[in-house]
Amino acid sequence: MPSAPRTTPREPLRARLLTTLSGDPAGQPPWVRALAEGDDAGYFRDGGAVWTVHAGLGTLVAGIRALLLQALHPGALAGVHEFSRYREDPAGRLVGTVRWILCVTYGSTAQADRETGRVARLHERVRGTYDAADGPREYSAGDADLVEWVHIAFTDAFLGSHQRWGGPIPGGADAYVAEWSRAGELMGLTDPPRTEAELRTRLRGFLDRGELRRDERVDDVVRFLRGIRFPGAMRVAYRILFAAAVASLPREYRRILGLRRVWWPAITLTRVVLAVSARALGEGPRAQDFARRRLRRLGVEPAS
């Protein structure tokens, strides 16, 4: 079974959570501290839809849901299987993804652009061939259809998880999709969806065109995600979060993945896990608190 980042059961829960998410038990690696630096408010406003959704603990489920959904596109999955070190270094892969999300969400435009550039450089070498529905197809990580799929799967997962486990979104779901479209543009997507209805239509389009499918690589990713082992009580919590991610997926995607909802109340138990996590993380500063230091210095008021 793959192992999670090394923590010990005696560490406070906050330290174990932050080690898993940021690689640092205090949650303050250099890229988090850099959120306090910069000369502008960044791409997203404090109090806006993106800040609200990404600050919610539903993101713990959203990350799993996004990976399950993204795995259904054979082009996206080919890049992961052939170039990612997720099996050997799952902690590093997770921290790298969290780093991009937080820097783009809370950082200055300069920090967000640097982080996006870092990810783009990693993707430059990601290219090869995969078996599409109409035969072998060459791909690169920058292909428009793959960038679109990754963006809409991410957006759907984070929006859907917040709608189920979070509170109100300022401006509603459309505001989140419209705001987060900027992240898609940063990654090279020329026409990201800007409403919830458009997001659902674009997502469904990949399914209706037969571009999504299950194969042995998908099964491998599912086994990997299901089998990540955390220490102590976090192992039970992760099992609940994984089951919740599966339960939150629309039935047609669960069917392709070969997954079924568990018989026990994963959705309800996840509320308990997220509440405990929120209390633990509330004991000290989080990433957005560093960003607010920058905003206070610049005299930027939160969105009303």
21 in Cβ contact with 94 (< 8 Å): yes
The pLDDT score that the predictor gives to residue 131 is 76
Structure tokens belonging to residue 268: 């309800």
DSSP state of 283: T
Encode pLDDT of 162-189 as tens digits.
999 999 999 999 999 999 999 999 999 9
Residue 267: enclosing H or E segment and its boundaries? Answer: helix 266-281
Where are the strands (E) in the chain, listed by range?
Answer: 127-132, 135-140
Q: Which residues of the chain have pLDDT under 70?
A: 1-11, 81-93, 304
Instruction: Examine residue 301 and state whether it is found in any structural domain, yes or no.
Output: no
Cα(32)–Cα(24) distance, rounded to whole angstroms?
Answer: 10
Q: State phi, psi for 179 to the nearest 5 degrees.
A: -65, -45
Instruction: Examine residue 3 and state whether it is found in any structural domain, yes or no.
Output: no
Instruction: Examine residue 280 and state whether it is found in any structural domain, yes or no.
Output: yes
Instruction: Examine residue 300 and state whether it is found in any structural domain, yes or no.
Output: no
CB hemisphere CA count around 160 (13 angstroms): 25
Q: Is 140 left (phi over 0), alpha (psi -120 to 50) or beta?
A: beta
Q: Which domain holds residue 280?
A: 13-295
Please state the pTM of the whole predicted model.
0.92
Burial level of 104, CB count in 10 A (0-12/13-18/19+)?
A: buried
Domain count across the chain: 1
Instruction: Examine residue 158 and state whether it is found in any structural domain, yes or no.
Output: yes
Where are the strands (E) in 85-225, listed by range?
Answer: 127-132, 135-140
Instruction: Examine residue 85 and state whether it is found in any structural domain, yes or no.
Output: yes
Q: What is the chain's length? A: 304
The pLDDT score that the predictor gives to residue 268 is 96
Instruction: Examine residue 304 and state whether it is found in any structural domain, yes or no.
Output: no
Cα(247)–Cα(14) distance, rounded to whole angstroms?
Answer: 27
Instruction: Examine residue 303 and state whether it is found in any structural domain, yes or no.
Output: no
